[in-house]
A = this chain, B = another copy of it.
Amino acid sequence: MESTLVSQGLDLLLYGMGTVFAFLTLLVGVTSLMSVIVNKLVIDEPEIAVSATAAGSVQSTVEPRIVKVIQAAIDQHRGKK
């Protein structure tokens, strides 16, 4: 029973690390391949895409009403001068 426990632990180590390494190694390949294929299929300028993503996510996660308020605040400020 006790020795079974140790052998179970060894099994877990072997099959576990085996699976983790096999899966993540496979994922390295799949990811690299995916990037190549996707970037061939989709015509998409990377730099612009990245900055667009960044800007887009800021713009989209800030709700329009907040943008509106800011605009209003700035307009008001400009008007006050």
Contact = CB atoms under 8 A, between A and B. Distances in A.
Given A62-B65, A62-B66, 17 more contacts: A58-B65, A58-B68, A58-B69, A58-B72, A61-B65, A62-B69, A66-B66, A67-B69, A67-B73, A70-B70, A70-B73, A71-B73, A73-B74, A74-B74, A74-B77, A77-B77, A77-B78
Nearest to A59: B69
Contacts of A66: 62, 66, 69
A6 to B, nearest CB: 50
Contact residues on A (Cβ < 8 Å of other chain), bracket: 10 to 19
Counting every copy of the chain, the complex holds 3
A71 to B, nearest CB: 7
